[in-house]
Structure 1
């Protein structure tokens, strides 16, 4: 059981290495064929000017001009060159970033607007409660005045000097 655990990763590594070597050999072996034939392998790059199938230079993100000019390099699709691909991806990436920035700006602004609106609502409710309380106090004072007049206590309160 322990031997199988060590043997299986070794076999998988050897098979992966062999398939990588086979793929790199297949790109150069398809020189002189068509673009479609070359690009069936994902690791291959087709150059229109030299009509050659090259293993994609993975050490650099874009193929260097010495290998094939960007305008003539094809990878993945025969009808799309690297310049169009770069421009398209840049525009789409910029649009996504711009959309995210606008969305974040709108969300923050709407959030602040919502909190301002909430604070204004709370202020209105507090003012309404304060006004009702003042009305109740004035009504209470009027009732007390009526009671004092009724019982003849409208004069100065004799106990006010102790308060």
Structure 2
């Protein structure tokens, strides 16, 4: 019983620790100052982009907190050609275009694979069905040949012993 309680405690210990760690992280982020990025205005792009929530604008040479309420930063804040997020060497517009193209290619490749797999599966099942049908026909043919051979042997035996006349039991059938 004591061993079971220790196992139960060890099973609940990890999720509890993870929950507490997550809550501590959320509270630490919410209590952090909202304008961390703006304090790095006098620095360079690399220094600004060390924080994931920051956006570097080349035109104004300023570090801005990324506007998460709007998916893309507004043009008034920083034009997309001059905005840098995540990488200093790639502008935000090129990043968006690249991600859109890669996403489109992945979706198209997935649809092509899905179409080909379904078509190949149907083709494979048609092949399987035709193979089974050929096998069934082959089995029926062999069975009919065996029946004919057995009938021929029975007829030969009847002739040999003089029983080739009408079957006396045929009138009951």
Residue of 138, 144, 150 corresponding to 1:134: 144
Which runs of 5 or more residues in structure 1 are unaligned?
A: 1-7
Alpha-carbon distance in structure 2 between the residues aligned to 1:70 and 1:31: 19
SS in 1 for 2:36: helix
Superposed displacement of residue 161, structure 1: 4.1
Alpha-carbon distance in structure 2 between the residues aligned to 1:98 and 1:104: 10
TM-score normalised by length of structure 2: 0.75
Q: Deviations over 1:46-65 (max 9, x none)?
A: 11111121111111111011
TM-score normalised by length of structure 1: 0.79
SS in 2 for 1:25: coil
Within 5 Å, give how 1:27-66 maps onto structure 2: 27-66=37-76
Residue of 104, 107, 110 corresponding to 1:97: 107
> Are residues 1:124 and 2:134 paired?
yes
Residue of 133, 147, 153 corresponding to 1:143: 153
SS in 2 for 1:88: helix
Which runs of 5 or more residues in structure 2 are unaligned?
A: 1-19
Matched residue pairs, number?
152
CA RMSD of aligned residues (A): 2.5
